[in-house]
Structure 1
Amino acid sequence: MKTKWHAALSSSVAIALLFAAMPTFASGTTLEDFTGKELSLRNKNTELAQPHVLRTAAVKSRLVIIQMAGPVQTEWKDELALDGVLLGDYVPDYSFVAKLSEDTDQSKLKQYSFVKRIVPYRQSYKISQELLDAINRDGSATVAIHGLQAEMGRKITTETITKRDLAGYLASDDVVAIVPASKRVPLNNVASGIIHADKLADTGHTGANQIVGVIDTGIDSGKKATLHPDLRGQVKELIAVSRKGDASDPNGHGTHVAGSIVGTGAASDGKVKGMAPDAKLIFHSVLDEGDSLAIDDDNLTAMLTEAYDDGARIHSDSWGEDHGSGEYYSDAQDMDRFVWEHPDMAILVAAGNDGSDEGTISSPATAKNVIAVGASESVRLALKDRSADNPDDIAYFSSRGPTIDGRIKPDVVAPGSMILSLRSQLAAEGEASADQGIDPNLYTYMSGTSMATPILAGGVAQIRQFLQENGTSDPSAALIKAMVINGADDLNQDTMAQGFGRANLRAAIGTSYIDEQTDGLQTGNKRTYTVQVTNTDQPLIATLAWTDAPGSVTALDQLVNNLDLTIDTPGGEIYRGNDREAPYDDEADETNNVERVIIPHPVKGTYSITVDGVNIPKGPQHYALVSNATIGENQTGSDLKKETHTGTVRTGSLETKVKEYAIKTGAAGTISLSLNWKSEANLHLYLIDSKGKTVAKATNRKGKPKTISYTGKKAATYTVQVRVLSGEADYTIELKYPKKQVNK
Structure 2
Amino acid sequence: MKLAYIVSMLFSLSAFAGTEIKLNSGTINTKNREVLVQQNELNQKTEWLIQFKSPITEKLKQDLSRQGIVVFSYIPEDALLVRASAESALKLQGQVDVQAVVAFEPYMKLSPTLGRVSAATSAARETFIVSVFDQSERSIIENTIRKISKDILVQSSAARNIVVTTERRHLLAMAAVDGVEHIQAFVQVQPLHVILEETQEPPTQQPPQQEPKAPAGDYTDLNGYETGTKVMNFDVAWAAGLTGLGQIVGMGDTGLDSGNAGAIHTDFMGAVKSGYAVGMFGRSWADPMGHGTHVAGSVLGRGTASGGKLKGGAYEATMVVQGMWSPILNNLSVPSNLANMFTQAYNDGARLHTNSWGAAANFGAYEKMAATVDEVMFAKEDYLILFAAGNSGVDKNRDGRIDPNSIGTPGTAKNALTVGASENLLDVGGIQVPAGKLKSGPENWPVDPIASGKISDNVDGIAMFSSRGPTNDGRIKPDIVAPGTNILSVRSQEKTAVDMWGKYNDDYVYAGGTSMACPLTAASAAITRQMLIEKLGYTNPSAALLKAYLLHTATDMYPGQYGEVGASRGQEILTKRPNNDQGYGRVNVAQIVSLGQNGARLLADSRGVATGETETATMTISEAGHLVVNLVWTDAPGSANASKALVNDLDLEVVLPNGTVLAVNDQLNNHAFVQGETPAGEIQIRVKGINVPMGKSGKQPFALVASVQPR
TM-score range, shorter chain: 0.7 to 0.9
User: Would the alpha carbon gap of residues 367 and 513 (structure 1) be closer, same or farther in structure 2, given more than 3 Å must change?
Assistant: farther
Distance 2:531 2:27 in 1: 51
- Once the two structures are TM-superposed, the CA of residue 507 in structure 1 deviates from its matched residue by 2.1
Per-residue CA deviation, residues 614-654 of structure 1 (Å, 9 max, x unaligned), is 00001121010111149xxxxxxxxxxxxxxxxxxxxxxxx
Q: Contact (CA 8 Å) 2:48, 2:82: kept in 1 or not?
A: yes
Instruction: Provide the alpha-carbon RMSD of the alignment.
Output: 2.6
1:186 equivalent in alignment to 2:191: yes
1:598 equivalent in alignment to 2:675: yes
Distance 1:592 1:514 in 2: 20
User: Would the alpha carbon gap of residues 338 and 186 (structure 1) be closer, same or farther in structure 2, given more than 3 Å must change?
Assistant: same
For residue 524 of structure 2, what is the amino acid of its counterpart? Answer: G
- Once the two structures are TM-superposed, the CA of residue 63 in structure 1 deviates from its matched residue by 1.1
Match of residue 609, structure 2, among 521, 539, 560:
521
- Once the two structures are TM-superposed, the CA of residue 148 in structure 1 deviates from its matched residue by 6.2
1:268 matched to which residue of 2? Answer: 306
For residue 364 of structure 1, what is the amino acid of its counterpart? Answer: P
Distance 1:567 1:241 in 2: 46
1:475 equivalent in alignment to 2:541: yes
Distance 1:350 1:431 in 2: 18
Determine helix, strand or coil for the equivalent of 1:78.
Answer: helix
1:218 equivalent in alignment to 2:255: yes
Q: Contact (CA 8 Å) 1:217, 1:253: kept in 2 or not?
A: yes
- Once the two structures are TM-superposed, the CA of residue 166 in structure 1 deviates from its matched residue by 4.9
- Once the two structures are TM-superposed, the CA of residue 508 in structure 1 deviates from its matched residue by 3.0
Q: Contact (CA 8 Å) 1:181, 1:330: kept in 2 or not?
A: no
Distance 1:105 1:552 in 2: 23
Match of residue 177, structure 1, among 179, 182, 200:
182
Q: Contact (CA 8 Å) 1:191, 1:419: kept in 2 or not?
A: yes
Determine helix, strand or coil for the equivalent of 1:247.
Answer: coil
Match of residue 22, structure 2, among 36, 40, 52:
40
2:162 matched to which residue of 1? Answer: 158
- Once the two structures are TM-superposed, the CA of residue 177 in structure 1 deviates from its matched residue by 1.3
2:484 matched to which residue of 1? Answer: 416
- Once the two structures are TM-superposed, the CA of residue 255 in structure 1 deviates from its matched residue by 0.6
- Once the two structures are TM-superposed, the CA of residue 111 in structure 1 deviates from its matched residue by 3.9
User: Would the alpha carbon gap of residues 504 and 178 (structure 1) be closer, same or farther in structure 2, given more than 3 Å must change?
Assistant: same
Match of residue 266, structure 2, among 211, 229, 238:
229
- Once the two structures are TM-superposed, the CA of residue 359 in structure 1 deviates from its matched residue by 0.6
- Once the two structures are TM-superposed, the CA of residue 362 in structure 1 deviates from its matched residue by 1.2
- Once the two structures are TM-superposed, the CA of residue 145 in structure 1 deviates from its matched residue by 1.6
Match of residue 459, structure 2, among 383, 391, 394:
391
Q: Contact (CA 8 Å) 1:352, 1:399: kept in 2 or not?
A: yes
For residue 39 of structure 1, what is the amino acid of its counterpart? Answer: I
Per-residue CA deviation, residues 131-175 of structure 1 (Å, 9 max, x unaligned), is 75598323452314232699xxx9621321535975653233311
Q: How many residues align?
A: 564
Matches within 5 A, 1:499-518: 499-509=583-593, 510=595, 512-517=601-606
Determine helix, strand or coil for the equivalent of 2:385.
Answer: strand
Matches within 5 A, 1:142-157: 142-147=128-133, 156-157=160-161
User: Would the alpha carbon gap of residues 301 and 567 (structure 1) be closer, same or farther in structure 2, given more than 3 Å must change?
Assistant: same
Per-residue CA deviation, residues 383-410 of structure 1 (Å, 9 max, x unaligned), is 5451111111111010000001000000
Distance 2:342 2:603 in 1: 27
Match of residue 351, structure 2, among 288, 313, 321:
313
1:446 equivalent in alignment to 2:508: no
Per-residue CA deviation, residues 652-708 of structure 1 (Å, 9 max, x unaligned), is xxxxxxxxxxxxxxxxxxxxxxxxxxxxxxxxxxxxxxxxxxxxxxxxxxxxxxxxx
Match of residue 375, structure 1, among 421, 440, 445:
421
Q: Contact (CA 8 Å) 1:316, 1:453: kept in 2 or not?
A: yes
Determine helix, strand or coil for the equivalent of 1:225.
Answer: coil
Per-residue CA deviation, residues 163-206 of structure 1 (Å, 9 max, x unaligned), is 59756532333112111222111006552222222211111111
User: Would the alpha carbon gap of residues 108 and 158 (structure 1) be closer, same or farther in structure 2, given more than 3 Å must change?
Assistant: closer
Greater alpha carbon shift after TM alignment, 246-255 vs 369-378: 246-255
1:205 equivalent in alignment to 2:205: no
User: Would the alpha carbon gap of residues 139 and 245 (structure 1) be closer, same or farther in structure 2, given more than 3 Å must change?
Assistant: closer
2:337 matched to which residue of 1? Answer: 299
Distance 2:356 2:362 in 1: 14
Distance 1:458 1:528 in 2: 32
1:661 matched to which residue of 2? Answer: none
- Once the two structures are TM-superposed, the CA of residue 90 in structure 1 deviates from its matched residue by 0.9
Determine helix, strand or coil for the equivalent of 2:267.
Answer: coil
- Once the two structures are TM-superposed, the CA of residue 45 in structure 1 deviates from its matched residue by 9.1
1:79 equivalent in alignment to 2:116: no
1:406 matched to which residue of 2? Answer: 474
Match of residue 555, structure 2, among 470, 485, 489:
489
1:623 matched to which residue of 2? Answer: 702
1:428 equivalent in alignment to 2:505: no
1:346 equivalent in alignment to 2:329: no
User: Would the alpha carbon gap of residues 148 and 629 (structure 1) be closer, same or farther in structure 2, given more than 3 Å must change?
Assistant: farther
Determine helix, strand or coil for the equivalent of 1:209.
Answer: coil
Distance 2:186 2:233 in 1: 39
Distance 2:557 2:621 in 1: 25
Q: Contact (CA 8 Å) 1:520, 1:621: kept in 2 or not?
A: yes
Q: Contact (CA 8 Å) 1:430, 1:443: kept in 2 or not?
A: no
User: Would the alpha carbon gap of residues 557 and 162 (structure 1) be closer, same or farther in structure 2, given more than 3 Å must change?
Assistant: same
Q: Contact (CA 8 Å) 2:500, 2:511: kept in 1 or not?
A: no
Matches within 5 A, 1:315-330: 315-323=353-361, 325-330=363-368
User: Would the alpha carbon gap of residues 337 and 80 (structure 1) be closer, same or farther in structure 2, given more than 3 Å must change?
Assistant: same
Distance 1:287 1:594 in 2: 34
Q: Contact (CA 8 Å) 1:476, 1:515: kept in 2 or not?
A: no
- Once the two structures are TM-superposed, the CA of residue 468 in structure 1 deviates from its matched residue by 1.2
Distance 1:347 1:87 in 2: 27
1:549 equivalent in alignment to 2:595: no
Distance 1:616 1:36 in 2: 15
1:614 equivalent in alignment to 2:690: yes
Distance 1:62 1:92 in 2: 20
Q: Contact (CA 8 Å) 1:234, 1:262: kept in 2 or not?
A: yes
User: Would the alpha carbon gap of residues 155 and 548 (structure 1) be closer, same or farther in structure 2, given more than 3 Å must change?
Assistant: farther
Query: Structure 2: which 5+ runs fail to align?
Result: 1-15, 29-39, 137-157, 193-224, 394-401, 434-453, 559-572
- Once the two structures are TM-superposed, the CA of residue 96 in structure 1 deviates from its matched residue by 1.2
Distance 2:353 2:592 in 1: 19
Per-residue CA deviation, residues 4-54 of structure 1 (Å, 9 max, x unaligned), is xxxxxxxxxxxxxxxxxxxxxxxxxxxxxx9855432012399xxxxxxxx
1:113 equivalent in alignment to 2:90: no
1:99 equivalent in alignment to 2:137: no
1:459 equivalent in alignment to 2:524: yes
Distance 1:615 1:431 in 2: 48
Q: Contact (CA 8 Å) 1:323, 1:354: kept in 2 or not?
A: no
Match of residue 405, structure 2, among 341, 359, 378:
359
Distance 1:140 1:442 in 2: 42
1:652 matched to which residue of 2? Answer: none
User: Would the alpha carbon gap of residues 105 and 223 (structure 1) be closer, same or farther in structure 2, given more than 3 Å must change?
Assistant: closer
Per-residue CA deviation, residues 536-561 of structure 1 (Å, 9 max, x unaligned), is 34x20111100100011101100000
Q: Which has the higher contact order (CA 8 A, sep 6+)?
A: 2
For residue 115 of structure 2, what is the amino acid of its counterpart? Answer: E
Distance 1:114 1:131 in 2: 36
Per-residue CA deviation, residues 98-138 of structure 1 (Å, 9 max, x unaligned), is 11147x53344234332111111111101256275598323
Distance 2:550 2:365 in 1: 24
Match of residue 246, structure 1, among 284, 289, 309:
284
Distance 2:657 2:648 in 1: 30
Q: Contact (CA 8 Å) 1:413, 1:502: kept in 2 or not?
A: yes
For residue 366 of structure 1, what is the amino acid of its counterpart? Answer: T
